[in-house]
Amino acid sequence: MSSVCLSVCVLSSSGSKVLVHFVNQSGVKSSVFVTEGETLLDVVIKKNLDISGFGACEGTLACSTCHLIFEESVYDKLEPMVDEEVDMLDLAYGLTKTSRLGCQVTVERWMDGMTVHVPQEIKDQRGKQEAVRSK
Amino acid sequence: IWGSHICRVRGLSSSSGPRVCIVGGGPAGFYTAQQLLKARQDAAVDIYERLPVPFGLVRFGVAPDHPEVKNVINTFTQTAQHERCSFHGNVNVGKDVTIDELRQAYHAVVLSYGAEGNRSMGIPGEDLPGVFSAKDFVGWYNGLPSNKELHPDLSFETAVILGQGNVALDVARILLAPVEMLKETDITQNALEALAGSKVRRVLIVGRRGPLQIACTIKELREMVNLPNTRADMLPADFEGIAEALKDLPRPRKRLTELMMKAVKEGGDDKAEKCWGLRFFRSPVEVLAGADEKRAAGIRLALNKLEGSGESVRAEVTGQLEDVDCGLIISSIGYKSIPIDPAVPFDPRRAIVPNEMGRVQDTAGLYCSGWVKRGPTGVIATTMNDSFDTARVLIQDMEAGKLDLSVNKPGAQAITALLQTRGVRMVLFSQWEKINAEEEKRGKSLGKAREKLLDVDEMLCRAK
């Protein structure tokens, strides 16, 4: 409901429009035009994207729930991480070599067309693993 | 308030959507509710919480100097204010209402009541004055009503903390932090005053295994290393062989270990008044009483060696002992869930409700999420993911017909009526908001984020 209204309103703002594709925990892709200068956390919240539990600490580097996985070519061009981001990222579920926290990544024009995704849900498998590990 | 609640429930009972009851108003309860409300537009979710105030360990466990971690309260507040969700505080499930009564009133019940007990060390002298569980000590500085009379004696130079998880490090940091760092937080005023007058200058944080097994995370260790006016006091002998092992470690463990090694090497400002240290390969075997036999004056530690490798490294006794003089002993070896109702299966060995992916064993329609399901470890995000998993399983069961949704269930209407006949005063979310406003107001006059009410009766009074 609200994301359609948002897309229309945002066209009139002065920031450059960058196309970003988000893939959520169930593999569902959402493609959105975002404004340069916003963080990816801002984008998920403003566009009301269906990513469960994203941004619990509201961008204060106190959790790892805005964890996003980038394409390698994009990851390599991102600003380096400060210690505090690495500290939190190290606790993230499904950490990869091209993982970052969304609240620390600001949208820039060159990111146009990039795809970011969150770790995929492992439904039964994780349940079974938990059951085995806890015995 | 009573009338308007009944009217709202009546409106909902004309719909035939699933009604779910959640026991426990902490992160597990709220995240489970959130996911259920999102996944089913016809679901009504009621949260029952024992205290008049919501949020569980986010309010009573997270350290006062970690306010960002408490931002999750905003999303929980949104959930509680959702039109298909109601919060009912001051309801003691197991005492005021039974699980069976809840199961009769709802299509499904989710146990999310966490871990209110603590693991005991099981050693002689554990009950001497001067020995506290970390759960109680944290509850004391965070305003948990049942810990308000703790009155820990902080007039001793050395404190020993058993356990090296994040809770242990939180306790160490609160004991040694300059008062300036705490005085604008939501720490209780009586704890702030006690800490301002504290004579504790040295805190040892003791673990039974080695540096590579330490359970805390790097953020908390970094905060200790950066504490003003303190220095690190480690034993280089505890770190033998660790430098060589670094290269094979996964990044999180490697960075944590490197930070520890840096603290061993650099130590810190020699002029610092206070110090903290990690002590490894040591298990508590006895709390030693002072000459007057009346309180703790020291702790006897057994020295261990490690056997095995990787994840399954175990501590084995060597027979050697070491005595440490100290007047404050805090046992931080884990919280523990307790059974709250005989109708619910409980595994006393693991202290959890036995379950398969959140479905309580042998009990249709009963689920669990959070610490009572998996054990008392992990951060809020861990509990969040776990709660989402349980909610998904519950939704699956609804869709697969394992829960009979064709039967109309009365939900809160029936339970509220029952509680009224039993003289239980429920606290609704809008009433918590009055308590919240009062706490913020009191805090403001003291220059603090909030001043928590410490007394259940006072909370109920404010909720009127």
DSSP β-bridge partners for residue A17: A35
Q: How far is A18 from chain B (nearest CA, A)?
A: 28
Q: How far is B27 from chain A (nearest CA, A)?
A: 11
| Residue-level pLDDT at B65 | 98
Helix ranges (DSSP H) in B14-66: 27-39, 57-60
Q: Which two tokens stand for residue B444?
A: 């403001």
DSSP code of residue B241: T
The predicted model gives A99-124 an average pLDDT of 90
Provide block-wise average pLDDT over 10 residues at a time, chain B (464 residues). 47 70 98 97 98 98 97 97 98 98 98 96 97 98 98 98 98 98 97 98 98 96 96 95 94 96 88 96 97 94 91 90 98 97 97 98 97 95 95 97 95 97 98 98 97 97 92
Nearest residue on chain A to B386, judged by CA atoms? A127
The number of beta carbons lying within 10 Å of the beta carbon of residue A114 is 17
Q: Does residue A124 sit within a domain? A: no
Q: Check CB contact under 8 Å for A53 and B385.
A: yes
Q: Does residue A21 sit within a domain? A: yes
Chain B positions touching A65 (Cβ under 8 A) are 381, 384
Q: Does residue A130 sit within a domain? A: no
Q: Where in chain B is the domain with CATH 3.40.50.720?
A: 19-116+336-425
| Residue-level pLDDT at B390 | 98
Q: Check CB contact under 8 Å for B356 and A60.
A: no
Chain A positions touching B389 (Cβ under 8 A) are 126-127
Lowest mean pLDDT: which of A27-31, A122-126, B132-136?
A: A122-126
Q: How far is B13 from chain A (nearest CA, A)?
A: 27
Q: What is the CATH number of the domain that holds A54?
A: 3.10.20.30
Look at residue A19 and give its three-state secondary structure.
strand
Residue B167 marked as a ligand binder: yes
Q: Does residue A129 sit within a domain? A: no
What distance in Å separates the CA atoms of residue B217 and residue B392, rounded to the nearest whole number? 29
pLDDT in tens, B72-113: 999 999 999 999 999 999 999 999 999 999 999 999 999 999
Looking at domain B120-333, which of 3.50.50.60, 3.40.190.10, 3.40.50.720, 3.60.21.10 is its CATH number?
3.50.50.60
Q: Which H or E element spans position B439?
A: helix B429-446
What distance in Å separates the CA atoms of residue B328 and residue B131, rounded to the nearest whole number? 6
Q: Check CB contact under 8 Å for B71 and A60.
A: yes
| Residue-level pLDDT at B15 | 57
What distance in Å separates the CA atoms of residue B161 and residue B112, rounded to the nearest whole number? 29
Q: How far is A123 from chain B (nearest CA, A)?
A: 8
How many structural domains compose chain A? Answer: 1
Q: Does residue A108 sit within a domain? A: yes
Q: Check CB contact under 8 Å for A127 and B356.
A: yes
Task: Sort B14 into a burial class: Cβ within 10 Å, 0-12 / 13-18 / 19+.
Answer: exposed
Q: pLDDT tier at A125 (50, 70, 90 boundaries)?
A: very low
Which residue of B251, B349, B397 to mutate against A (max A Cβ within 10 Å)? B251
Chain B residues with a Cβ under 8 Å from any Cβ in chain A: 31, 35, 66, 68-69, 71-72, 74-75, 217-219, 222, 251-252, 255, 350, 356-357, 374-375, 379-381, 384-385, 388-389, 392
- Nearest to B303, CA basis, from B317, B323, B313, B286: B317
Q: Check CB contact under 8 Å for B72 and A56.
A: yes
Supply the range of the domain harboring residue A67: 17-117
Q: ipTM value, please give it.
A: 0.88
Q: Which two tokens stand for residue B157?
A: 């130079």
pTM of the model: 0.92
- Distance, first Cα to last Cα, chain B: 9
Asked if residue B432 lies in contact with residue B175, where contact means CB atoms within 8 angstroms, the answer is no
Residues 61-120 of A with CB under 8 A from B: 61-65, 83-84, 86-88, 90-91, 93, 95
What distance in Å separates the CA atoms of residue B151 and residue B162, rounded to the nearest whole number? 20
Largest CA distance in chain A: 58
Q: Check CB contact under 8 Å for A87 and B219.
A: yes
Specify the CATH number of the domain B19-116+336-425.
3.40.50.720
Look at residue B41 and give its three-state secondary structure.
coil
| Residue-level pLDDT at B126 | 97
Q: Check CB contact under 8 Å for A63 and B385.
A: no
Task: Sort B133 into a burial class: Cβ within 10 Å, 0-12 / 13-18 / 19+.
Answer: buried
Q: How far is A9 from chain B (nearest CA, A)?
A: 25
Residue B378 marked as a ligand binder: yes
| Residue-level pLDDT at A9 | 46
Look at residue A6 and give its three-state secondary structure.
helix
The number of beta carbons lying within 10 Å of the beta carbon of residue B449 is 17
Q: Check CB contact under 8 Å for B357 and A127.
A: yes
Q: Where in chain B is the domain with CATH 3.50.50.60?
A: 120-333
Q: Does residue A111 sit within a domain? A: yes
Label the pairing between strands B158-162 and B328-331.
parallel
Mean pLDDT of chain A: 84
Q: Check CB contact under 8 Å for A53 and B252.
A: no
Chain A positions touching B392 (Cβ under 8 A) are 123
| Residue-level pLDDT at B16 | 74
Q: Check CB contact under 8 Å for A56 and B381.
A: yes
Sign, CA torsion B161/B163/B167/B170? positive
Chain A positions touching B222 (Cβ under 8 A) are 83, 87
Asked if residue B304 lies in contact with residue B321, where contact means CB atoms within 8 angstroms, the answer is no
Which residue of B30, B69, B225 to mutate against A (max A Cβ within 10 Å)? B69
How many beta-carbon contacts under 8 Å exist across A and B? Answer: 67
Chain B contact for A31, CB < 8 A? Answer: no
- Nearest to B31, CA basis, from B389, B287, B357: B389
Give the closest of A84, A86, A131 to B356, CB-based. Answer: A131
Asked if residue A29 lies in contact with residue A74, where contact means CB atoms within 8 angstroms, the answer is no
